[in-house]
Structure 1
């Protein structure tokens, strides 16, 4: 039997999980594996970069799960500092460029995995490419940012955008002793929450000494005589900056895939079937931040850039490439974050998401504590719950609060995946002891109130 060749584009979570799983199932005599990674690193936690920048994670290498050398020892031909520049679907080959020597080469494939990830949104505004302006998506990006901080004596940081990356980087700079300004185009930070819950995050950021500017549409990056960033200009004023971090969000990196004619969705991500195979192409798979996935609650495709999904995609792809069988059914949109001591969580639909797909709903909001109120150290949390009118089906949950708030969202994520109603949730047998929860867990309190709202709505 002739040896097949698998080519993987992308050396992080999805790509190397796929390569590693395929290697477990097929040896080098059956499957040759070649992987291209344009950066210096492989299999690292991009989600951990803000905590490395902030000093919670002491060393860069603490974020690396498996080095390029370790992958090579396991029979995977990982080529770092090598960028894939073209996919020839009909010819079953990939063109790549060695970024050190500048030489190009074609590599044929029998099977192809596209795991090109996502790229930070970088608006086409004057000065956006000036030294001192950083996106933070890869480990190389994080290293470049830290190198800039080491060379810069000023202590003023401006964060453009107040999503997950924005608030996490704001915390990182507060911990480094910087004066931090967050410029947010919306009215409240964390647009993944409803505005009433985002208001709680805004209030907490203010209390932490973070200046959050609402309705701040950036118009350009101002530079000094040395060409470096000096300020960020908005429609209403400018804000001095020694370093700027873009936290506007990310978009699928599908430039190669689009140029090759592969199918893209409304969010710009690759479209796959349940086995993570690119639609219409029997020997091409895709996973991670470059794909769109099915939202199990709304029934629509969406783009979610999370390492949890990327690793699952890689395992599924590797199993299918290696001759096994696995599927990825979809997501419910669960995400957690924090800014200093405030924990932030969401799963399922926001109010505007429910309206967009034509769902009628009720909402309830409750305040509770993470432990029994009499137990020392009890902290407050706010839980917001959305349920479908009439049926009572759970549609979404958002939580903002102190220690122990964020991971409670996992209860709601399981309920959403199971298609439970809020009335069914009230009977969940959750763990209780005074150090961990009140007698009625906050999730159950919110569910009970949601049941009343559903009944009241007829």
Structure 2
């Protein structure tokens, strides 16, 4: 009797989490992984910090190599791009002509960087930040720049990757202009919090150009990118880095006939099983998930979700019940010394979801005001009017500010009210917070207003 074969397409977070979990629970399952690149289980989130020489080497970003997975009983084919899926025959065709049969299929094809139709965007000298090879290419490009003149970089986009790349390029000695079509960086922050981020970037010496529609990437006589043109200005550049966001890479699934959701991701249920094909699962940036508060479809490209979804899928495939509980959109980043966190609904999302809500902002310090290193912090809460139920939170401030968003995420996940959060037993010592932590103070402001 042949073994049950699980075929996984994609060897990063979602795919390898599913593969390892299924094999861990039931080692009689034959697990075969197809990965189009040469790395498995790598941290794309760490690429900016490798570019900035904050991470020592490429190998430091690889959690587990293909050979390490093989030693644990998985069959891993690197350099193998899946080209087509035949759902009726339960067979996958690879670009090299090989075919792979399966009993259960797990798609973990990841995300696809947003690339709008801009003239010159495919020119040499324009770089994405998606795979380890992208990081290597950016590092090489920086190392090859002459040092006898100012070196310039333009970053397109003001989201997480855009901010992180702007910071590390500046660390590497480049003059940086950030060009974005939106009114402010960090579009999932409310405007008043986004303005704080914008001010922090400008105080670091970055050019931040908002409401700027890019019309072309300019190229020189050698064909390489040498600048960016918008409706109103032109910015010189030795290299251009794309930080325009990420959508689901679901083209293989769609071509095969799998159901695709309204976000463009593969439509799966809470067990990560395809809603249209019972022996197909999907996990990671390629899937459509749902918001934990609203229940509405959502797509959030983040390694934490990919790993959780992969574990859920692997468990279910191996016969152990599991469910993915949705997302809040919790995220954290930094630019220079300014830390930024957000979770739950911003005001635009709360309005779209039909909530009657209020917002409150508290300004405080990250430590006791008299303790060395105390820095400013702003905490913003979005709460349901009347009930005081927490809907969203945003944090912008100095060192020690950002991770406070995890307290807010936990409270929102647990459906707490502002009053309940204000009464929670949060830690205190002068090196870490004022007597009343800024999160508790913000919650207390809301609860007092709700009472009267």
Same fold (TM over 0.5): yes
Partner of 2:166: 170
Partner of 2:135: 142
CA–CA separation in structure 2 for the residues paired with 1:268 and 1:311? 20
Q: Offset of 1:325 from its aligned partner? A: 1.6
**Matched residue of 1:104: which SS?**
coil
CA–CA separation in structure 2 for the residues paired with 1:120 and 1:230? 22
CA–CA separation in structure 2 for the residues paired with 1:181 and 1:39? 31
Partner of 1:26: 26
CA deviation profile, 1:236-255 (whole Å, cap 9, x unmatched): 12111110011110110001
CA–CA separation in structure 2 for the residues paired with 1:150 and 1:104? 38
Partner of 1:117: 110
CA–CA separation in structure 2 for the residues paired with 1:67 and 1:243? 31
Q: Offset of 1:455 from its aligned partner? A: 4.0
Partner of 1:344: 340
Q: Offset of 1:316 from its aligned partner? A: 1.2
**Matched residue of 2:309: which SS?**
helix
CA deviation profile, 1:286-318 (whole Å, cap 9, x unmatched): 111111211112221111011111111111111
Partner of 2:440: 444
Structural mapping, 1:291-302, within 5 Å? 291-302=287-298
CA–CA separation in structure 2 for the residues paired with 1:275 and 1:244? 40
Partner of 1:453: 449
Partner of 2:17: 17
Answer yes or no: is 1:107 the counterpart of 2:100.
Answer: yes
| Number of matched pairs | 449
CA–CA separation in structure 2 for the residues paired with 1:111 and 1:299? 28
Pick from 223, 227, 241: which aligns with 2:219?
A: 223
Pick from 367, 391, 397: which aligns with 1:395?
A: 391
CA–CA separation in structure 1 for the residues paired with 2:226 and 2:170? 19
Q: Offset of 1:127 from its aligned partner? A: 0.7
CA deviation profile, 1:99-135 (whole Å, cap 9, x unmatched): xxxx312211100110011011011111110001111
**Matched residue of 2:267: which SS?**
coil
CA–CA separation in structure 1 for the residues paired with 2:354 and 2:74? 48
Q: Which deviates the most, 139-148 or 255-264?
A: 139-148
Q: Offset of 1:363 from its aligned partner? A: 0.4
CA–CA separation in structure 2 for the residues paired with 1:266 and 1:178? 40
CA deviation profile, 1:209-233 (whole Å, cap 9, x unmatched): 1110011110111100000001111
CA deviation profile, 1:408-441 (whole Å, cap 9, x unmatched): 1111111111111111111111111111111111
CA deviation profile, 1:338-396 (whole Å, cap 9, x unmatched): 01111000000000001111111000001011111111111110001010011111010
Q: Offset of 1:280 from its aligned partner? A: 2.6
Residues 157 and 243 of structure 1 are in contact (CA less than 8 Å); yes or no, is this contact kept in structure 2? Answer: yes
Partner of 2:320: 324
Q: Offset of 1:144 from its aligned partner? A: 2.1
Answer yes or no: is 1:242 the counterpart of 2:238.
Answer: yes
Answer yes or no: is 1:8 the counterpart of 2:8.
Answer: yes
Q: Offset of 1:452 from its aligned partner? A: 3.0
Partner of 1:45: 43
Partner of 1:270: 266
CA–CA separation in structure 2 for the residues paired with 1:115 and 1:203? 38
Partner of 1:100: none
CA–CA separation in structure 1 for the residues paired with 2:289 and 2:371? 42
CA–CA separation in structure 2 for the residues paired with 1:151 and 1:122? 26
Q: Offset of 1:2 from its aligned partner? A: 2.5
Residues 298 and 354 of structure 1 are in contact (CA less than 8 Å); yes or no, is this contact kept in structure 2? Answer: no
RMSD between superposed Cα atoms in Å: 1.1
Residues 114 and 284 of structure 1 are in contact (CA less than 8 Å); yes or no, is this contact kept in structure 2? Answer: yes
Pick from 406, 428, 436: which aligns with 1:410?
A: 406
CA–CA separation in structure 2 for the residues paired with 1:67 and 1:236? 47
CA–CA separation in structure 1 for the residues paired with 2:127 and 2:308? 29
Q: Which stretches in structure 2 are left out of the alignment for 5+ residues?
A: none
Partner of 2:76: 78
Q: Offset of 1:170 from its aligned partner? A: 0.2
Partner of 2:421: 425
Q: Offset of 1:149 from its aligned partner? A: 2.4
Residues 278 and 285 of structure 1 are in contact (CA less than 8 Å); yes or no, is this contact kept in structure 2? Answer: yes
CA deviation profile, 1:125-174 (whole Å, cap 9, x unmatched): 11110001111111122122222223333721000000000000000101
